[in-house]
A and B are shown apart, each in its own frame.
Chain A
Amino acid sequence: MSEVSMSVNGRTARGVVEGRTMLVDFLREGLGLTGTHVGCDTTQCGACVVHVNGLPMKSCTMLALQCEGADVTTIEGLAANGAPLHPMQAAFREHHALQCGYCTSGMVMMAVDIARRIGEPDEATIREELKGNICRCTGYHHIVEAIAAGAKAMALPQT
């Protein structure tokens, strides 16, 4: 067992973990941040995507200890409680881009990164960028529309 410390959603988070504990388990069980989910065991489905030092990563295939000192953002950190939804979250809602919601946090975290990197991606690019995010409910149609809209909204000057 080792101590680990990192910044999660802007706050210092400390815990004691085993060497083999994955980041997703530290977030969910150690910190009670259950918004990030586990949907597969082959690093494919993307339900576990969070941001580490500003980049999306699959938290099911990262050791918690490898995130010592890192800056982690989970879905809970995109918008503070009571604050308005992040434009990408709002776009997902407006476009019905979630049904059961299980893939949603990973999908939104990846979407935010796509928008930041590419600006206003077209349909084909969005679909390609979602290679590591599986959704079983939506057929991706509304997700693609939401990401396009969310990216546009994110590109607007934030007041």
Chain B
Amino acid sequence: MLLAGGQTLLRDMKHGRHSPTSLVDITGVVPRQIERRGDAMSIGAGVTHTEVASSATLRRHLPVLADLVGHIGDPAVRNRGTLGGALAANEPAGDYPAACLALGAAIHTTGRTIAASEFFVGDRRTALESGEIVIGATFPITERAGYVKFLNPAARYAMVGVFAAVTGEGRPRVAVTGARTNGAFRWWEVESALATAFTPRGLNDARLSLEGLIEDLFADAAYRAHLAGVLARRAVALAAGPAPGVMVLSHGSRSRTEVVHA
């Protein structure tokens, strides 16, 4: 099996979810660029979350992504976790998959380029074929984007996370993570509601259907369905507002907003 930062794989190995006979460390061979290419940011698969979060280039052109990645896990985990690892893992509550779907990213592999909408196919599964390795991703730049997530108090990843963006062509895109067992997905009903105007006002009744929602100790299907609606409204408000960025809600915590000034 392929090993990059190991924050997912090694953790899973310790719990017996994988028992590979050999590991190939690819951290030295995958690309590590962060650069602007046309209207998009190109990030190599080997870039760590810390590097993404602190990249001056990324902060200048697509700061919402830098902040989203800067809130994955914790600082020590971010020094190991990589873009490639996060995309290949496609964890059900992963933040990167939501960003990819909402920004309309393209994922580049050793064999081809795959649109985000086709890359994430299900619970911890991607379109990668055997032997195919992620080498990077391209994120179209937009100034109107916002991500809101409410942390699971135990695992501290997204109980639900919603990424709302308006693409360069003016189309609304909303992606939800942490809600479905199959992982991140585009929320078509909300996107339709936003078609006429990119404002939370039309989303008052937004609620996910209960099909396929994750249920755990901290959130059952009904609560997740409701929370997704609330966070969608907040993500749209954030994206449409004067200071787009990332908001992380954590039970108990006083600090509610982390904004990036455009």
Contacts and interface: CB of A to CB of B under 8 A. Distances in A.
A55 B50 contact: yes
Contact of B10 (A56, A62, A129): A62
B75 A131 contact: yes
A37 interface: no
Give the interface size bracket for A toward B: 20 to 34
B186 to A, nearest CB: 29
A154 interface: no
Interface stretch (A40-48, A75-83, A84-92): A40-48
Contacts of A132: 73-77
Contacts of B60: none
A135 interface: no
Interface residues of B, number: 24
B125 interface: no
Interface string B19-47: 00011010100000000000000000000
A57 B74 contact: no
Contact of B76 (A58, A63, A66): A58
A141 B80 CA distance: 28
Interface string A81-116: 000000000000000000000000000001001100
B156 to A, nearest CB: 7
Interface in B148-163: 156
Given A58-B80, A61-B7, 12 more contacts: A19-B23, A20-B13, A22-B10, A49-B76, A55-B79, A56-B76, A58-B76, A61-B14, A124-B254, A131-B73, A131-B74, A132-B73
Interface of B: 3, 6-7, 10-11, 13-15, 22-23, 25, 27, 50, 73-77, 79-80, 156, 253-255
